[in-house]
Amino acid sequence: MRRYLLPVLASAFVLFAIVGPLLVPHDPLAQNIVKRFAPLGSPEHLLGTDNFGRDVLARIAAGAQVELFTAVSATLLAMTFGVLIGMTAAYSRGPTEGVLMRGVDVMLSIPPLILALLVVAALGPSVPTLIGVLALLFIPGFARVAYGQTLEVRNRQFVEAAIIFGAPRRSIILGQILPNIMAPVLAQASLTIASAILVGSGLGYLGLGIRPPAPSWGGMVADGQRYMSSHPMLMIVPGIFVVSTILIFSALGDTLRALWDPREQRSR
């Protein structure tokens, strides 16, 4: 049941992020001081309004779009460069392997949140900067996965046969090895999307994510914290979306990894 529920929930989030802003009849940036702090379940505002009278549901939907675009873009960049590094290191071996994988180890030794804070503080908060920082943080994870899987696949008979018959190196890597390591890489991608949303929301909470007044879930949590004693839902509602989305994609990644990992299947 879980293997079907998680993809459905993840697809529902993606669908909400894509079409949600089009379906909500309110502008996420429109202010109406007269209707500020409208309660949850108001006729015109299902999730209420914030301290500026902006519709919370509209801002949640617009924030979901930003979170999805940022997380997926960063994941695709990290996957592209990480898989390239890992496959090149595992297939080439020798000095190339040593240089590439020691570089990955150095990147893993740097605390990710501190690195993100330094880069964003130096370059300024923006969507391109956030995507670049997140991609840089998650390249080592993909490189390690691709490296381990390539070491296993390169010793299989069909790869050795391709080498014996003189197939070009590029053809072997892209045509023989890459398709056989994509399953764990895709599982890692799901986990990375969850991590990207977590780090992106954390930076937004610290004021180093998406620039206001553009909505972001982390920024909404930070704004709602100021009114926690009088209007707690302003912080709780976006917090629920952050936590639930992270849990969905994390659980989906774990499930995919368990389904596609032969060691997990043999242990059952």
Q: Do the domain assignments include residue 24? A: no
* Residues of the chain falling short of pLDDT 50: 263-268
Give the residue from 44, 8, 1, 51 showing the smallest Cα distance to 26.
44
Q: Which residues contact 230 (CB under 8 A, 6 or more apart)?
A: none
Q: CA torsion 92→186→253→13, rounded to 10°?
A: 150
**Minimal CA–CA distance to 55: which of 197, 215, 202?**
215
Residue type, 200: G
- The token pair that represents 225 in the structure block: 């914290």
Residue 242 has a pLDDT of 92
DSSP for 236-265, please give it. HHHHHHHHHHHHHHHHHHHHHHHHH-HHHH
pLDDT reported for residue 60: 93
Peptide bond into 184 cis (omega under 30): no
What's the CATH code of the domain at 251? Answer: 1.10.3720.10
Q: Domain total for the chain?
A: 1
Contacts of 166-174 spanning 24+ positions with Cβ under 8 A: 169/91, 172/91, 173/87, 173/88, 173/91
> What tokens appear for 54 in the block?
């902006």
Residue span of the structural domain in which 235 resides: 32-262
- CA 79 to chain centroid, in Å, comes to 11
Q: How confident is the model at residue 268, as a pLDDT?
A: 46
pTM for the full predicted model: 0.87
pLDDT at residue number 267:
45
- Asked if residue 235 is part of any domain, the answer here is yes
Q: Which two tokens stand for residue 40?
A: 């949850």
Establish if 121 belongs to a structural domain.
Answer: yes
Cβ distance 104 to 56 under 8 Å? Answer: no
